[in-house]
Structure 1
Amino acid sequence: MTAARRKSTKAPNLTFERALGEQGHRFVAGCDEVGRGALAGPVSVGIVVVDLHSAAGLRGVRDSKLLAAAEREALVPRIRRWAVASAVGHASAAEIDGLGLMAALRTAGSRAWEVVLRTVPPDVVVLDGNHDWLSARQQELLFRTDDGAPPVETVGCAAPVHTKIKADLTCLSVAAASVLAKVERDAYMVSLAGDHAAFGWDVNKGYATEVHRAAIDTVGPTGFHRRTWRLGNLDRVGASTTENGG
């Protein structure tokens, strides 16, 4: 993303969040995910809570995809200070395989949600996209175990969730959440790259580049790969025929 392109993109603001404030809400949580379309690594969900009684704008924040890595990293401490609560939750590749992508997103989101609840219970959530994968589902097993043990109980999101397409481009709280999630997930993939150099995770962060696919064909998948997905360039028996992009 060039500086000219970023300049031409209108900065996200708190207009949508303040409209929710007019309905009586004070603590608004912005929520976004990263890693949905990767072949390896977790899906990660960021949540940023703003207090509409005191929140001002935050210069420089954009959807994480519109920022260079150094820009995202520099924003993290500023976002943490600006928010009244913030967290990032993750669901592993094994959980994606075992639960399915939507339930894994909910798992990651629930982990982030539990952290922000320790500081302040959000009144309402703005979720990027058109599908509410965050809200708690009755009797759903979010944390299944391989040995058949009972699932670990978790506190799912019980606040009202407003989905909004491209909220990461327009809503400041959601854009801030996307930055936190992207920085944390990228750092995790870089930390794995040294022991798995063939896959180029320090560069591609687990996404489907030709180098990554070719390495899977040559070396085979690791425990950090989503084994139910089509991973390499060669057809794999029992694998899904498509990845879920995003």
Structure 2
Amino acid sequence: MLSKKFSNYNFEAGTDEAGRGCIAGPVTAAAVILPDDFENEEINDSKKISSQLRYKLRELIEDKALTYKVTHIYEDTIEKINILHASIQGMQESVLALNPQPEFLIVDGNKFTPIPDILHQCIVKGDMKYLSLAAASILAKTYRDDYMNKIHEEFPMYNWKKNKGYPTKEHRIAITKYGPCKYHRKKFKLLPGQLGLEL
């Protein structure tokens, strides 16, 4: 089982994001505080478990968490402030919406902008080490997948239901054929150089 806590504070939150490497759709962040007695052997980094298990665990996390919040940061903001800052903004907004507010925060990754009055620690691959970070990764991933499934209905030609906005070969072929749409991150490299696209 993953570790319960990094610190000795009563209210320690974990925060993570999903969708940084995509070329369409939002980056989605989540923050969660789990109770001290929370235990689960199945919770892990969302990328390491099946979609079916992620949704099963999401129900459990939402039922047992002391508090949680999920935040989408959309394409227009990503374009304005870049994907790193958008990811951090999403995590900050999620943390600030928690009630109770955490006394300490662990962040999956190696970069974060401090939130006043909340100590934090960045942990590389933390979603494979700490329960709250794995839980946040599951929430972020499933809520983002839900969003991509929804906008797939509007633009089915890109098959976001399957690729979730990641730059798969199929996704890039569709962009070559149909061009980008309003959900694409126009400043990202939508196509490899040899498949140049007029934007």
Provide TM-score, normalisation by structure 1. Answer: 0.76
Is residue 2:196 matched to residue 1:235? yes
Q: Paired residue for 1:162?
A: 121
Q: Does 2:43 correspond to 1:61? A: yes
* Cα separation, 2, equivalents of 1:235 and 1:225: 15
Whichever residue aligns with residue 213 of structure 1, its letter is R
Corresponding residue of 1:108: 90
Listed as ranges, the matches of 1:48-197 within 5 Å are 48-52=32-36, 55-116=37-98, 119-133=99-113, 135-136=114-115, 158-197=117-156
Deviations 1:99-143 (A, max 9, x none): 111221122123312321xx201001111111224x24xxxxxxx
Q: Does structure 2 conserve the Cα–Cα contact (< 8 Å) formed by 1:31 and 1:125?
A: yes
Question: Which AA in structure 1 matches 2:112?
Answer: D
What corresponds to 2:3 in structure 1? 13
For 1:69 and 1:127, how far apart are their aligned partners in 2? 23
Deviation at 1:237, TM superposition (A): 6.1
Identity of aligned residues (%): 30
Q: Which structure has the bigger radius of gyration?
A: 1
- Structure 2: which 5+ runs fail to align? none
Superposition TM-score, scaled by structure 2 size: 0.93
CA distance in 2, matches of 1:92, 1:44: 9
State the SS of the aligned residue for 2:190.
Answer: coil
**Structure 2 partner of 1:213:** 172
Q: Is this contact kept in 2: 1:230–1:236, CA < 8 A?
A: no
Report if the CA contact (8 A) 2:14-2:132 is conserved: yes
Instruction: Give the paired residue count.
Output: 197
> Relative contact order, CA 8 A, sep 6+: which one is greater?
2
SS where residue 20 of structure 1 aligns?
A: coil
Structure 1 runs of 4+ aligned residues shifted over 4 Å read: none
Aligned-partner SS, 1:40: coil
List alignment gaps of at least 5 residues for structure 1.
1-10, 137-156, 239-246
